[in-house]
Chains A and B, each alone.
Chain A
Amino acid sequence: SQQGEEDPQALSIQEGENATMNCSYKTSINNLQWYRQNSGRGLVHLILIRSNEREKHSGRLRVTLDTSKKSSSLLITASRAADTASYFCATGPEGSNYKLTFGKGTLLTVNP
């Protein structure tokens, strides 16, 4: 079953702008991860945030987690054409010690 749902499904911005993608989930989680997928390639892990954390940074990435709203956001600042990819959130549900449940992804296009 689908746990995380990303929003929007597609996002098109100009280079230099910020991109914000959201993820909502339904059940309680232990942690949430964000991944990037370039067209026709495998997924690349970006960042993990645990349920007791509210915000995390990694380079130009900023992730927030609001467990009361069951939602997370991924902000990419000063976007580049190379950031063009699909972005997925993956949740680790409470009670599962290994399984990640992936959303359908947001397709981000950064125009030069």
Chain B
Amino acid sequence: SQTIHQWPATLVQPVGSPLSLECTVEGTSNPNLYWYRQAAGRGLQLLFYSVGIGQISSEVPQNLSASRPQDRQFILSSKKLLLSDSGFYLCAWSVLQGSDQPQHFGDGTRLSIL
């Protein structure tokens, strides 16, 4: 069966520090991968989307970047964190491309910027 792992589960970082969040999927090949951010009391905002290794689509211009160095690995990064980067970051995958595909989520990383 397929599983998705995100780490760390929680992270507290000072303003201006770098960031690296990792997401890996097991049990499937060539998944579509997504990074979302969820602010308190709000819905999910799609940040990045990837259909394959090295292929990243950015949805929202911001202080973050994403990379996909391996088929089932998706990394969210920042060189200098801002206070506004605080939030709950969720990684998800789907088997096929398409808005009719169920997305399967990891358990997220709670990021607090001090």
Residues of A within 8 A of B (CB): 2, 4, 30-31, 33, 40-45, 48, 50, 88, 90-93, 96-105
Contacts and interface: CB of A to CB of B under 8 A. Distances in A.
B105 interface: yes
Given A88-B43, A105-B43, A98 B102 contact: no
Q: How large is the interface on B (under 10, 10 to 19, 20 to 34, 35 or more residues)?
A: 20 to 34
B108 interface: yes
Contact of A42 (B46, B98, B100, B105): B105
Contacts of A93: 99
A100 B43 contact: no
Contacts of B92: 42-43
A104 B105 contact: no
B108 A99 contact: no
